Amino acid sequence: MPMAQEIERKFLVKDTSWREHAKGLLYRQGYIPTQNKTTVRVRVVGDRGYLTVKSPSLELTRQEFEYDIPVEDAEAMLNSLCSAPLIEKRRHTLRVGEHLWEIDEFLGDNTGLVLAEIELTRETEEFVMPTWVGEEVSANPNYFNSNLVKKPYRLWEDVHSSS
């Protein structure tokens, strides 16, 4: 059986022109601490629970294994096993060309941060770049959800001191 892989590119969102055509859903997620750069994520989306294990990234690619779990188990893990604060965001989806974009509007300690992600089948795959997409931040660890728990967007001095 082939190994599960995730190839993802992540960008800042520079305006709200995407909003009128997107559908949104509330996500709550947390991370169980690990001893290495592997991430273990617990997520609740609506009435569904998920457990995801991801390897460290190698460029834009990493191994990813995701499993459905009972939502009650996911809630219990979020409340007892995950580092605080939890990541709360409204995820919007929008098809552009052949690809599905996910636009995350962060809430709570990460309010003000809006990111767009696209998953690809290979790192060199071409895609249509929407006009509302800004700077690519795929390789910037500050924008990894697992790091937004450790240093939420509201604490980023370089972003907030220039406002």
* Structure token digits, residue 104: 């995350």
Please give the angle made by the CA atoms of 121, 126 and 131, to the nearest 5 degrees.
120
67 catalytic per annotation = no
CA dist 136 and 7 (Å) reads: 14
Closest C-alpha to 87, from 111, 58, 119, 53: 111
Helix (H) or strand (E) run with residue 105 in it: strand 99-106
Judging by beta carbons within 10 Å of its beta carbon (0-12, 13-18, 19+), is residue 78 exposed, middle or buried? buried
CA dist 116 and 101 (Å) reads: 7
Annotated catalytic residue, options 27, 31, 143, 153: 31
* Structure token digits, residue 124: 């060199």
Residue 133 vs residues 12, 37, 71, 107: alpha-carbon distances, Å? 6, 28, 33, 20
Active site residues: 31
